Amino acid sequence: MKIKIGRILQYIYIYVLCIIVLLPVLNIFLSAFKKNVEINRSAIFPSALLFENFTAVLKSDIFYSGMLNTIIITGGALILSVMICTMAAYPLARNRQVIYTIVYFIFLSAMMIPSVANMVPLFSLMRQLGLLNSRIGMILLYASNVSMGILLFTSFMKNIPIEIEKAAEIDGCNYFQTFWHITLPLMKPVWISYIMIQILGIWNDFLLPQLFLSERSKQTITLAVFTFRNERGSDWGAIFALMSLVVIVPMVLFIVNQKYFLKGMVAGGIKT
Amino acid sequence: MKKTSEAVTNVPKAKPAVKQRKGFRVKRAVRHHICSGLFILPALGLFLLFTYYPLIQNIMYSLTSWNGITIEKDFIGIQNFIQIFKDRTLVQSVGNTFYLAIALLLMGLFLQFSAALIVFSKVRGHGVIKVILYLPAVLSPIVLSYTWIQFLQYPGYINQLLEVIGLGQFKNMWLGNESSVKLVLAVIQSLQYTGYGMIFFLTGLNGIPKDIYEAADLDGSSGLNRLFKITLPLMMPSITVTLFISITGALNSYAIPLSLTGGGPNGASTTIAMQIYQRAFGMRQFGYASAIGILFFIIIAAITTLQLSITRKREVEY
């Protein structure tokens, strides 16, 4: 009997926790239909389904430019970073010489450098390179954040039997051909995990866009929410409508690909 | 794995090596390493340019009184660092950050670990629970902050609830109160990452072989004893990773305090990250902000190194 009560408490605890976690998310969508007055006095449900808030958002330019910028920056950064991380991981996973180990740890050491601590010199570097308010600048910056990719890809490649590559080499494949025809096709699962995690990271990032994209037309969608809030002040209905449009993409991505989120990254992180 | 790869590399040695062939092999090895280097180069180049070069620059700037605009930077030695310790608002924000981080760690780890244990015991609907708890982690902190305002403002949901259940005297300006604001921020952030940490712990729990528990059952161990003597030590690797991510995440708090409170009231929720931003881009004290950044980096590196060395030592083989 005693055990059963404990079990019931566990059920109550975890379900209550789920409700608490879910409420703020639901509130985003509910509030998107509310009038400003209702938001200001925190009415739980909207009195009627108002679509005015959405039309206000769809009329504002920052929604479109924000989405477009985010897609360009995320896409560009992902393509570039998957390429360079995979290339770097290949020799790092296959060579045992000390120099490769050192390079590997230099890459990983960056996980300890908070981007916050580096923001002043990073800003002046970006300014020197003329990359302020530049989408290319953001792509390079995100792609340069290689620690996670190299960690994941290297540990994944180490689990691919080296014999396959040796066999290809004996058959006359050169370095690049072995990499291209043998190793690359096997990388798909870890790429997908990595891409999923990175998409969300870039989509939701706030600090770097705030630092480097002050120009309204270059802002990413997450920064656009912040800008929109500062511009509209108390027009919370429109702000919530914008937010509900912004969160749909990561939520759908996550729910559709949940197994990659719930498995992929952890496995790589813990094994090494 | 190691054995087989050695066997493969040993194959050519077994054959009688002709002189020409040996030269060919050396040339091949050189070519191999050149190719390897070329493959690493793009990642290393970008990485050094955007991570280590700024870090070195940071040290140089921190010794100047640069305002971020002029070309010449006046060298002032370690004056910035001395100034940091006299700077009341900065010291306050360091205190805030640590308060926030410790509260966040304690609450976050408790929520994550308890949720992982319960989900692991296969409660009804554990698949859905995992998804729900992870959901806030995929949302932007800015968006979450704005929706939390609906709960935390004076006429908000929480005060409404307190009124309904007859605890009206506990109604509070949750974000306008210097004594409660940090705690509220810690709760919000720990709820955001409950599912995230839970997944790491679940991986650890799943990795423990079942027969160890069976053996423990035979020895008559149960309950808490089992948790502390078997489960925790065996999932140390996932604890190492989760702790590392939580500590760095907590110390870097920026977006949520900024969008929820703007650092107020009276600087009670200003974090170090916000201070660095404010000093550099608000007050144009680039040199000073760099010095704060350097100190901040050293603190984070020291804490995480300490943590890694402590938890790594406790990882056991099985």
Tell if the CB–CB gap between B47 and A144 is shorter than 8 Å: yes
Shortest CA gap B69–chain A (Å): 9
Asked whether the CA dihedral B155, B157, B159, B163 is positive or negative, the reply is: positive
Find chain A residues with C-beta within 8 A of B120's C-beta: none
pLDDT band at B19 (very low <50, low <70, confident <90, very high): low
pLDDT tens by residue, B226-241: 888 888 888 888 888 8
- The range of the structural domain enclosing residue A158 comes to 50-271
- When CB atoms are compared, the residue of A121, A207, A258 closest to B131 is A258
Average pLDDT, integer, range A46-69: 86
Tokens of A129: 């390179």
Integer Cα distance of A194 and B242 in angstroms:
18
Whether A68 is covered by a domain: the verdict is yes
Tell if the CB–CB gap between A23 and B138 is shorter than 8 Å: no
pLDDT tens by residue, A78-125: 999 999 999 999 999 988 899 999 999 999 888 878 888 888 999 999
pLDDT band at A129 (very low <50, low <70, confident <90, very high): very high
> Does B268 or B5 have the greater pLDDT score?
B268
Find chain B residues with C-beta within 8 A of A117's C-beta: 58, 276, 293-294, 296-297, 300
Whether A14 is covered by a domain: the verdict is no
Side-chain half-sphere of B16: how many Cα atoms within 13 Å? 0
Whether A5 is covered by a domain: the verdict is no
pLDDT attached to residue B308:
86
Among B192, B298, B207, B188, residue whose Cα is nearest residue B245: B192
Contact B68, B284 (CB under 8 A): yes
Integer Cα distance of B36 and A179 in angstroms:
11
Integer Cα distance of A48 and A26 in angstroms:
17
Q: What pTM was computed for the model?
A: 0.85
Task: Please give the residue of chain B at the shortest CA–CA distance from A103.
Answer: B44
Among A94, A97, A88, residue whose Cα is nearest residue B38: A88
Which ipTM score applies to this complex? 0.86
Whether A32 is covered by a domain: the verdict is no
pLDDT attached to residue A266:
59
Whether A29 is covered by a domain: the verdict is no
pLDDT tens by residue, B30-80: 888 999 999 999 999 999 999 999 999 999 998 988 888 887 788 888 888
Percent of chain A scoring above 90 in pLDDT: 38
Whether A151 is covered by a domain: the verdict is yes
Average pLDDT, integer, range B169-175: 81
Residues 6+ apart with CB under 8 A from A29: A244
Q: What is the DSSP letter of B17?
A: P
- What total number of domains does chain A contain? 1
**Using alpha carbons only, what angle is made at residue A223 by residues A220 and A226, rounded to the nearest 5 degrees?**
150
pLDDT tens by residue, B206-261: 888 888 878 877 877 777 788 888 888 888 888 888 888 888 888 888 889 998 88
Q: How far apart are the first and last CA of chain B?
A: 19
pLDDT band at A183 (very low <50, low <70, confident <90, very high): confident
Contact A104, A154 (CB under 8 A): yes
At A123, which CATH number?
Answer: 1.10.3720.10
Average pLDDT, integer, range A142-150: 90
Tokens of B65: 């009184």
Ranked by mean pLDDT, the top range of A17-21, A33-37, B200-204 is A17-21
Whether A30 is covered by a domain: the verdict is no
pLDDT attached to residue B11:
46
When scoring B11, B126, B139 by the number of chain A Cβ atoms within 10 A, the one with the most, hence best to mutate, is: B139
Tell if the CB–CB gap between B290 and A253 is shorter than 8 Å: no
Shortest CA gap A14–chain B (Å): 7
Tell if the CB–CB gap between A269 and B200 is shorter than 8 Å: yes
Number of neighbouring beta carbons within 10 Å of residue B89: 14
Tell if the CB–CB gap between A27 and B151 is shorter than 8 Å: yes
pLDDT tens by residue, B94-139: 999 999 999 999 999 999 999 999 999 888 888 899 999 999 988 9
pLDDT tens by residue, B3-13: 444 444 444 44
Shortest CA gap B94–chain A (Å): 13
Whether A107 is covered by a domain: the verdict is yes
Domains delineated in chain B: 85-313 (1.10.3720.10)
- When CB atoms are compared, the residue of B31, B42, B134 closest to A87 is B42
Tell if the CB–CB gap between B252 and A120 is shorter than 8 Å: no
Tell if the CB–CB gap between B300 and A262 is shorter than 8 Å: no
**Using alpha carbons only, what angle is made at residue A265 by residues A263 and A269, rounded to the nearest 5 degrees?**
120
